[in-house]
Chains A and B, each alone.
Chain A
Amino acid sequence: MDLSYSAEDIAFGEEVRSFLAEALPTYISDAVRSGGELTKPMMEEWHAILNKRGWLATIWPKEFGGTGWSPVQKHIFEEECCRAYAPRIVPFGLSMLGPVLQVFGSKEQQDHYLPRILDGTDWWCQGYSEPGAGSDLASLKTRAVHEGDEWVINGQKTWTTLGQFADWIFCLCRTDPEAKQQAGISFILVDMKTPGIEVRPIKLIEGGHEVNEVFFTDVRVPYENLVGEENKGWTIAKFLLSHERTGIAGVGFSMQALEEVKALARKVRRGGKSLMEDPLFAARIAQVEIDLEAMKITNLRMLFKAQEQGAPGPETSLLKIKGTVINQELKDLARRALGPAATPFPGHITDGNLMFGPADTAHNAARYFNNRKTSIFGGSNEIQRNIVTKTMLEL
């Protein structure tokens, strides 16, 4: 066993750091730091900057324009990006659809769609969940009927993250209603400009708009928008869910959150001292830090295993469960540290002099509430436990 980085890894880390110092625009990192919603142009600009450097598709193989990085390199990159307050990569094209097309797509689909994901021509969103099909995704009802050389799609998707910005949506549709649930599903690409699509916003708990409902009424798309074989979409869905889990532990983001909490605790005053000197609060921080320190190693161990096996295994469920809990705890601590100062609705106090503490502490309560989503989406933590129960424990 050797936990130290190799000389190459260390050099790589330095390269990433100096790139970020130079290339990441301050107005974007400031926006990430202050915790507000990022605008579409900001996210696009950051993607373009990474793409120019060849570092956008960190999980794609080289042949498709990816970095071909080792797990350790990906980990270092993620960590450094978080440290520098770079925006998260929008995952739908890069982490989800990209790998799907690389494995299941036709040559034409790969040649057409992959470059457009890299250069930002197409913004993708994920059309899986439906009002009646959340954890039980295979019960989905959105119907696609093969008519001539087209699919005709009717139904509704929901929870579509950043669908308001999207050019395209990849959908799981029911194509054989007679077949057993999982067997009658196909994976179809849909241009969001197609007539018959309506996007309606969903306002989230903290007031933000990041998810949507997407309605399909007689939406016609070419038959060749099918990815893989007809009625074999479930295989793709399962493949994609396992890719959705790379980086699922969110270690870098938790490290960022830990630093923020520590900085807050040093700044905030209680009982004539800094909050960090309050043993009860310091104990809360220390406990999460211990969990996180372990999680960094757990994460790396599982990344290595995934690399050896060629694909992430069911252990990634453990990463998701513990990773989200740690992150949620840190968000709780930030809100807790500020006390009543976390109370104002974000954006209500505009007078800089009246901001509570430094301006970068706004939004902490909002972030805490918003982050409750992480243990629900991408397979809830209950569903992750079910997966481990079945696959690892064989119970």
Chain B
Amino acid sequence: MDFNLTEDRQMLADTLGRFLSEQYPIEHRNKVAYEAPFHDPALWDQMVELGVFYALAPESAGGMGGAGFDISVVFEALGQGLCPEPVLAALMASRLLTSAGVEQDDLLTGARRYAVGISEIDAPYELDHIATAATAEGDGYTLSGRKSTVYGGHIADVILVAARHGGGLGLFAVEAHAANVTSYGMMDGGGAAEVMLDNTPAKLVLAEAEVALQDALNAGIVALCAEAVGAMEVTHAITVEYLKQRKQFGVPIGKFQVLQHRAVDMLTEIEQARSITIKAASELGGPEASRTASMAKNLIGRVARLVAEEAIQMHGGIAMTWEYSVSHYAKRLVMLDAQLGDTDYHLSRVMAGYAA
């Protein structure tokens, strides 16, 4: 057993971390995160150059990584820097293209931006109730339906859409300009889109896509969990530092035992969150991937909320302000519960496993 990162991964984590803290200070981050187009093309290109995207795909698909731990190091760094760029969308698209055996150079080189349309209003988390449907038309297909909160849909060139097809789910590629895309910013920064498909031309990528979709979701969950761990580390560190600096009643508030113990509880939970993320990352691609991903996402959902709320509370008013970075970390930590299945959804999946 070895809990250390390989040298390559450590190097990528360090480089990306340094890059984000130097090029992406919170003021700039907030500008990008909350002002249209909710995206910084220059930074995106630099991330391509740093090899971020290559790290997300396996060698067989033209990448240099693609394992659970490759994904988690990248996303932990993104979480530390509170990066609002839709790298998650690129990861999930890459994962799907790899499963489909479709060439993805344009994704890895950053030439074209991908988003993934799975979620729908009435089926935000579950694959079973997707309503968007494909119809064969000539040698191609058309899609009809609405994909909701498509993360990264605001800047995508191509959207990979999950749609009902031949009794199951198929995966289709839609050119963004062919669909009706409404972009918006999100509560926690970054952009998404509503994608309305109305007999929209689409290319079949994978006919029976359930397994590939589940794998992309599992990879996405590992990514989100690692992002949360990164964001929690920073949030906790800032909070502890504040407890040392802020004085009330003539002493640093960190001298109050009630706050000390809660800071310790946060730390304990963050360590637990890190562990379950490591577990899920190690199982990615294997038979236990879905179960451990669900366990991880459930625990992360609980811990991230605790850390966000406690960080604000223990700061007092200051962390309620837009000026202070903890408010933005807190928003990200809470809102990521609603991505790729929330606490309850994943708890019910773990529970469903007992019946099987």
Contacts and interface: CB of A to CB of B under 8 A. Distances in A.
Interface of A: 129, 132, 134-136, 139, 158-159, 202-207, 269-272, 278, 280-281, 284, 328, 332, 335-336, 338-346, 348-349, 351, 354, 356-357, 365-366, 368-369, 372-373, 375-377, 380-382, 385
A203 B327 CA distance: 11
Interface in B295-321: 305, 309, 312-313, 316-317, 319-321
Given A205-B330, A376-B313, A382-B259, 5 more contacts: A284-B344, A336-B338, A341-B149, A343-B149, A365-B187
B121 interface: yes
The 5 nearest A-B residue pairs measured at CB: A348-B184, A340-B149, A203-B322, A136-B248, A205-B327
A269 B123 CA distance: 7
B240 interface: no
Given A204-B321, A280-B344, A340 B339 contact: yes
A388 to B, nearest CB: 13
A377 B330 contact: no
Contacts of A281: 344
A372 B320 contact: yes
Given A340-B124, A340-B339, A344-B186, A135 B344 contact: no
Interface of B is mostly: mixed
Interface string B19-48: 000000000000000100000000000000
Given A129-B317, A343-B149, A382-B258, A271 B129 contact: yes
Given A270-B125, A280-B344, A280-B348, A134 B316 contact: yes
Interface residues of B, number: 52
B297 to A, nearest CB: 13
A141 B259 CA distance: 26
B335 A341 contact: no
B320 A205 contact: yes
21 contacts: A135-B316, A203-B321, A203-B322, A204-B327, A205-B319, A205-B327, A270-B122, A272-B128, A278-B348, A335-B338, A339-B338, A340-B149, A344-B184, A344-B185, A345-B185, A354-B182, A369-B331, A375-B313, A376-B316, A380-B313, A382-B313
B10 to A, nearest CB: 33
B126 interface: yes
A343 B187 contact: yes
A366 B188 CA distance: 10
A280 B343 CA distance: 10
B338 A135 contact: no
Contacts of A372: 309, 312-313, 320
B347 A139 contact: no
B256 interface: yes
Contacts of A328: 309
A362 B123 CA distance: 19
Contacts of B3: none
B317 A134 contact: yes
Contacts of A381: 313
A121 B347 CA distance: 55
Contacts of A348: 184-185
B142 interface: no
Given A136-B248, A343-B187, A376-B316, A202 B321 contact: yes
Interface in B162-198: 182, 184-188, 192, 194
A205 B322 contact: yes
Residue among B128, B185, B347 with the highest chain A CB neighbour number at 10 A: B185
Nearest to B129: A272
Nearest to A207: B322
Interface string B316-355: 1101111100010011001101110011110110000000
Most buried by A among B256, B330, B343, B345: B345
Contacts of A202: 321-323
Contacts of A332: 305
Given A205-B327, A349-B184, A366-B187, A339 B320 contact: no
B148 interface: yes
A372 B129 CA distance: 35
Given A280-B347, A369-B331, A372-B320, A343 B313 contact: no
B313 A373 contact: no
A234 B61 CA distance: 71
A278 to B, nearest CB: 7
Given A204-B320, A205-B322, A380-B316, A345 B338 contact: no
Nearest to A340: B149
A340 B119 contact: yes
Contacts of A365: 187, 334-335
A158 B149 CA distance: 37
A215 B258 CA distance: 33
Contacts of A380: 313, 316
Contacts of A345: 34, 184-187
